[in-house]
Amino acid sequence: MMRRPVVTGTLLFGAAMAALLFLRLLPLSAGVVRLPGPDVALCLAMAWVLRRPDQLAAPVIALAFLVQDILLFHPLGLWPAIVLLGTETARLREGRWRDQPFMVEWLRIATLIGLMMLAYRIVQVLFMMPVPALGQVILHFIATVAAYPLVVLAARFLLGLRPAMPLDVDMTGAAR
């Protein structure tokens, strides 16, 4: 049986991802070429896994990004698999990263996001898929890393996503 915080966290994450996907699907720019924006969904998933890893299961993350791939016509399953590997890597290190300053977390997340985007690009090249221009990918990376603190702040105040408090952590260091 699932606990109430897990169900609440899953529903809240699903609703936030649906809202972000809805905003991405809106036709806000009529044919105007612009700079690539941040991947706010990735930032939210990383922030959630580092703050409340007990509230968000891996299949929920994979499903959310798979739906995003389907609706945005991206290569099916490639980015969700990479995001799942990245978020689970962060989840495994959450206990050690919990007491670090935010700047250290931001640097680690930037490195992890960079490695995820590099892996995505390498797989695209290996399987001869269409590859976006390197400049666009670099700008997308910079925008995503720059948006991470804003997403963490918004998640805290809009979604109530706070780090696990000492009373929420059991003797093994895992969040309850």
Nearest to 66 by CA among 45, 94, 38: 45
Write down the pLDDT at residue 171: 46
Q: What is the model's pLDDT at position 97?
A: 81
Domain layout of the chain by residue ranges? 8-21+38-162
Q: Cβ neighbours of residue 116 under 8 Å, at least 6 residues apart?
A: 42, 82, 83, 85, 86
Q: Would you write out the chain's pLDDT as a tens digit for each of its 176 residues?
A: 457 777 888 899 999 999 999 988 887 666 666 778 899 999 999 999 999 888 889 999 999 999 999 999 888 999 999 999 999 999 998 888 888 899 999 999 999 999 999 999 999 999 999 999 999 999 999 999 999 999 999 999 988 888 776 555 554 455 55
Structure tokens at 167: 């009373």
pLDDT of residue 96: 83
pLDDT for position 137:
94
